[in-house]
Chain A
Amino acid sequence: MRRLTMGALVLAAGFAQAAMAGDVGQIKNAKGGVFIVRGGQEIAASAGTPLQQADRVVTRADGAAGITFKDNSLLSLGPDSALDISHFSFDEKDQPDVLEATLHRGTLSAVSGKIVARTPEAMRIKTPTTVLGVRGTEFFVKVTNPDPVK
């Protein structure tokens, strides 16, 4: 178990080394248990871990995580939260800017960035019951979800 955790940490450190073209942002703050689920694998996350589209960021009961996206949007999670980075595109040729994230459960704090400054509502937060079109700037979201989401 211990070895497994260490392996995951080494893996996360490896990701932190190279900022790749597919990266959409980075974990800047990680407190307590913070993980990324990518392609079915769970990766322990720490400050500097890059994020990609389709990643799920999960915090444990003692966890909290802060993310900065490439367009300078800021999102952070409180404990017991799960957020999918469903769709992100910024400054890509022939593609509209978009930041779409899905909060399955937990608490979210958000400050919009350049994507919303250019195109209001190009940032969307989906929850089990709603879609939030963001025109700016700072807001909080809480999702209480009786259906367990891993």
Chain B
Amino acid sequence: MTRVGISREVIRALALWPALFFISGCCCFVPAEAETVVIVVPSRHDGHVGAVVVSRGERQQLLNTAYATARATPKGAIRQTSLKPRQLEELQKTFAAASEALPPKAQTYILYFDLASENLTPESSATLDVILAEVGKRSAAEIVVVGHSDSLGTPEANLALSQRRAERMRELVIERGAAPRIVSAVGVGERDLVVATGDEVEEVRNRRVEVTIR
């Protein structure tokens, strides 16, 4: 009985003093205005801490330390805080689902060819198995092949050669079981040398195909 009485009183209070309700009860409800929370974290891949610039109009806040956090509502300052251990735990819960859904990082493998040919060196043939194993581990994997040449020969001939190498690589991964529709292949000739050389230089490290799995 008493309980009912109290709750009636509360209801009346809510109806009469919406401002009081707002002050006392707002933290339990969705805030009345939009809020953005941004947190910079160490990279899960290499621990590197990057930076994010949070801006709203003229106001800017640079976040460039581990777990640096900014909160921003439509008006007022962008508040920067560093998190306490308890808040870190909350953070992990808040972002657990998003974090788990993050796809694995893309992996790039470099394979080399014998001079003026579309034949892989023996070491690079072995890398093919590593590539196929990586593809098998991923959900909806794509294989992106980019062929390159060294600077020996004309740019036109090298473009054609790099395209043949990329195409050969595409065939090789498909022969080993990759679905054709997930494999793309392009050649870029001598325009993206990994070892800078002058023109007409034979360089094994430039005669390569880069295979990215993502």
Which residues of A are at the interface with B, using a C-beta cutoff of 8 A?
A: 16-19, 26-29, 31, 47-48, 64-68, 72, 74-79, 81, 106-109, 111-113, 121, 127-147
B116 within 8 Å of A (CB atoms) = no
A interface majority secondary structure? strand
Chain B contacts for A137, CB-based, 8 A? 43, 45, 48-50
Can you name 5 A-B residue pairings with CB atoms under 8 Å?
Answer: A18-B181, A64-B98, A109-B101, A132-B38, A141-B38
B102-110, B122-130, B166-174: which lies at the A interface?
A: B102-110
Encode contact with A along B91-106: 1 for CB under 8 Å, 0 otherwise. Answer: 1001111111111011
B residues sitting closer than 8 Å to A (CB atoms) are: 30-45, 48-56, 63-64, 72-74, 78, 91, 94-103, 105-106, 138-140, 142, 181-182, 184, 212, 214
A108 touching B140 in the complex, CB below 8 Å, given contacts A68-B214, A72-B105, A144-B30: no
Say yes or no: A143-B42 contact (C-beta < 8 A), given A27-B140, A64-B97, A136-B50: no
A139 touching B38, Cβ below 8 Å: yes
Given A67-B103, A141-B37, list of 9 further CB < 8 A pairs? Answer: A16-B140, A64-B97, A79-B97, A127-B36, A131-B54, A132-B53, A137-B49, A138-B40, A140-B91
Query: Quick one: given A26-B140, A138-B41, are A130 and B102 in contact (CB under 8 Å)?
Result: no
Verify A144–B34 contact, CB threshold 8 A.
yes
Q: Are A109 and B72 in contact (CB under 8 A)?
A: no
Across the A-B interface, give the 8 residue pairs with the lowest CB-CB distance, nearest first. Answer: A136-B50, A78-B98, A28-B103, A137-B50, A48-B140, A78-B97, A128-B34, A133-B53
A76 in contact with B99 (CB, 8 Å) = yes
Contact A121 B140 (CB under 8 A): no
Known contacts A128-B36, A140-B95, A147-B34: A76-B51 contact under CB 8 Å:
no
B103 touches A146 (CB 8 A): no
CB neighbours of A136 from chain B (8 A): 48, 50-51
A112 touching B50, Cβ below 8 Å: yes
Q: Which residue of A lies closest to B53 (CB)?
A: A133
| B51 pairs with A142, CB closer than 8 A | no
Q: Find out whether the CB atom of A133 lies under 8 angstroms from the CB atom of B102.
A: no
In the complex formed, the residue of A with least CB distance to B49 is: A137
The minimal Cβ–Cβ distance linking A45 to chain B, given in whole angstroms, is: 11
